[in-house]
Structure 1
Amino acid sequence: MTPAVFAGADTHADTIHVAAIDGYGRDLGDGEFPTTPAGYRDALAFLASFGSVQVFGIEGTSSYGAGLAVVARTAGIAVREVIRPEATVRRMQGKSDLIDAYQAARAAMTGRAKTAPKAEDVEGLRALLSTRRSAAKARTAAMNQIHAQLITAPVEIRERYRKLSDKRLIDALAACRPGSRGGVVATVLLGLKMLAQRHRFLGQQIELLDDQLRGLVAAINLNLISARGIGPVTAAQLLLTAGGNPERLASETSFAALCGTAPVPASSGKTTRYRLSRGGDRHANSALHTIATVRMASDPRTREFVATQRAKNRSNPEILRILKRAIAREVFKLLQNPNALTGIADLRRIRREKNLPIRVVVEQLGTTLNHVSRIERGVAFDREFTQRYRTWLQAA
């Protein structure tokens, strides 16, 4: 019978150090390998020489250990994310690649490392979302620079552009001709023109990234992006927070805590109240905040709920806390059922087969032509409207 082996790995940019132990925690051997496809294969072959690897604990499965984790999972080995040892353990036992590799193996054997690594498809979301976030910050910075420069610009420039809206300001500055002027006016206009062109270019990048995010999120969890108030950016962030693996979360309560929406008691004396949590993933918390504010502005049921809560003298922060907790509960259920929503590819075909003009759909369902068109083309997703639209088509 092949002996059971538990493995661990301490990962770095150029090397990985792997170690193997048996079921009794006894050291079997360790080795260092390069972070190359050949190095990963050699590392797995080295571990397999001791027996059948049951669980492989790897530090940094989303960073330096990502490549090793993929190769190990492809080989059919159960991979678990290992968190670096606590400071007290490191002070007592020391710190080295060898020690960390054996610690990772023991964490895999004892079950201390029980979290599955994040799915590969979610890493694409991470790359696009990070790029979009930096593009949005740079675009905001460009607009702030434009407004700041207009304050100190020559009177001729300031009076001409100061009253324009942001969109018209960008269009006007991007199309201006500094070469036709002279002196300081030409120099300042050139700087403003470059900033406006940068702002426009970053806006185009953001639109392209949004389209890419929308497609990726729809492929991973169409049900999530189809919920009211959830767009491609917020959906991508929530998928990243969940790690692409809803089974990583034990319950919707744990997901709420992960998003920083679990209510925290803030009572004193005769006053009983709760406040917003300041823990958890702040990006996920921001995504839930965005969804809540969108629904407060456009969702009739949410607006009715807000009015009811304000009648009870609840403040906006308290209402947002309740809303974000409820949205976290809804999102958790959507993460558990990624394919619950029926596809939309056949909606346009059914409408045309029944010879129904799109204006009739708009009139009957109380929506807009653009909304119906975007739903039919798969550019936008709206679970509630799609279900209502399908039911109406079937009855028409």
Structure 2
Amino acid sequence: MTSEGAADTVDQDVFGGVDSHTDTVHVAVISDNGGHLADAEFATTAAGYVAALAFLTAHGRVIAIGVEGTSSYGAGFTRTARSHGHPVIEVNRPDKAERRRTGKSDPIDAYAAALSGRATSSPKDDTVGGIRAVHNTARSAVKARTAALNQIGQVLVTAPEAIRAKYGQLKGTDRTEALARLRPAGDALHVAVLTALKSLARRVKELTAEHDALTRALDAEVTTHNPGLRAAYGVGPDTAAQLLITAGGNPERMRTEASFAALCGAAPVPASSGRTNRHRLSRGGDRTANSALYRIALVRMSGDARTRAYVARHVAAGRTKKEIIRMLKRAIAREMFRCLTTTVTTPGIADLRPQRQAKNITLTAVAQHFGLWPTTISRLERGLSRDDDLAHAYRDWLQAA
């Protein structure tokens, strides 16, 4: 290639594409009109990422890089590319129909990512990476604890009659505590079964303590990251973390609340044909985010006065519970989008407990005055639940007392 030809190559606009794996990333380069220029494979190391970027820039001005899996296998390359000033575009996995037509290989996927790099979907940033790690670990602890509890039940089903009669009738924490204190004795069969039950019960206790500690850490993380979201009614540490993970630390990538609702699978999908004009429930989107919205809806239907009034109106209008929950999830998605994309101030409650204690008023007295349980007042004082109307009424009552 002549020096003039090399200069032309460097001056041209190119797009990059990355097919990421555990040990390697396959990088492809295309011209601005979609022509295939080159592809190569690099290791998933710091040096490999730098070499991959040098390979891209050697072919021209890099307009954008499409990366498959920016939050998983491609996270390391994404961080390096961004630190070098390259715009990164998050791309979806290749369409199944297209894959059946063209086949699959690392170069094919990399070129497909490069073509997708001409789109405008920004990837999530790393600010919620810690929340994602703690959230996933907490959920895995719940799954492991559930598996251990199920195994205890299965062992008791086939256990000798004496063991089954003694421990089979116990439930929940009582059974776990009793089994954890066992001292296996008897014949070989009884010793083996009791040893297994004791080990499983201790595992359940350890996983419960681990999950509680992770939940406290998760609560602190999400409250620091987005106090307005965490303070919203019905939003606990797990649901707040899931919504933050779904939206990413840079929620400005979602342009409208409708796009967030669609991302959560809470937006109605047109299902019209001919003379039929209707919508159906979306089955797409992030199903874990949809589950988070569902849990928020259930909590609000149980304890939020405005939501209960809303449900009552629609029940009187003849709508089913399923339809009402679907409408609630759409409305909650709108509220969550506002919490994720704007700064929502939360009224201070730190003064409530000191005021009550200074006047020697008990939680029971406060609860009786407002017709609530003492636990409700305690959770409000500690910031574990939010009720702005109750907080204002409580403060006014304390000042007048």
Instruction: Give the TM-score category using the shorter length.
Output: 0.7 to 0.9
CA gap 1:183/1:271 in 2 versus in 1, 3 angstroms = farther
2:218 pairs with 1:213: yes
Structure 2: give runs of 5+ residues left out of the alignment: 1-6
CA gap 1:358/1:68 in 2 versus in 1, 3 angstroms = farther
Corresponding residue of 1:12: 21
CA gap 1:68/1:303 in 2 versus in 1, 3 angstroms = same
Corresponding residue of 2:326: 321
Corresponding residue of 2:3: none
SS of equivalent residue, structure 2 residue 195: helix
Structure 1: give runs of 5+ residues left out of the alignment: none
CA gap 1:271/1:212 in 2 versus in 1, 3 angstroms = same
Corresponding residue of 1:170: 176
- Cα separation, 1, equivalents of 2:318 and 2:146: 36
Aligned residues: 389
CA gap 1:222/1:168 in 2 versus in 1, 3 angstroms = same
Normalising by structure 1, what TM-score?
0.82
Normalising by structure 2, what TM-score?
0.81
Counterpart pick for 2:92 among 60, 72, 83: 83
Matches within 5 A, 1:226-265: 226-264=231-269
CA gap 1:35/1:228 in 2 versus in 1, 3 angstroms = same
- Cα separation, 1, equivalents of 2:391 and 2:345: 9
CA gap 1:30/1:183 in 2 versus in 1, 3 angstroms = closer
SS of equivalent residue, structure 1 residue 334: helix
SS of equivalent residue, structure 1 residue 176: coil
- Cα separation, 2, equivalents of 1:282 and 1:230: 17
AA at the equivalent of 2:344: A
Instruction: Quote the offset at 1:231 in angstroms.
Output: 0.8
2:68 pairs with 1:59: yes
- Cα separation, 2, equivalents of 1:321 and 1:105: 38
Instruction: Quote the offset at 1:117 in angstroms.
Output: 1.3
AA at the equivalent of 2:285: G
- Cα separation, 1, equivalents of 2:353 and 2:152: 50
CA gap 1:90/1:176 in 2 versus in 1, 3 angstroms = closer
CA gap 1:70/1:371 in 2 versus in 1, 3 angstroms = farther
CA gap 1:89/1:195 in 2 versus in 1, 3 angstroms = closer
SS of equivalent residue, structure 1 residue 233: helix
Corresponding residue of 2:295: 290
* Further displaced range: 144-153 or 133-142: 144-153
- Cα separation, 1, equivalents of 2:114 and 2:271: 42
Contact 1:275 1:318 in 2 (8 A): no
- Cα separation, 2, equivalents of 1:366 and 1:376: 16
Counterpart pick for 1:198 among 200, 203, 208: 203
- Cα separation, 2, equivalents of 1:389 and 1:244: 35
CA gap 1:366/1:227 in 2 versus in 1, 3 angstroms = farther
Instruction: Quote the offset at 1:358 in angstroms.
Output: 6.8
- Cα separation, 1, equivalents of 2:373 and 2:381: 13
RMSD between aligned residues: 3.8
Contact 2:18 2:68 in 1 (8 A): yes
AA at the equivalent of 1:60: G
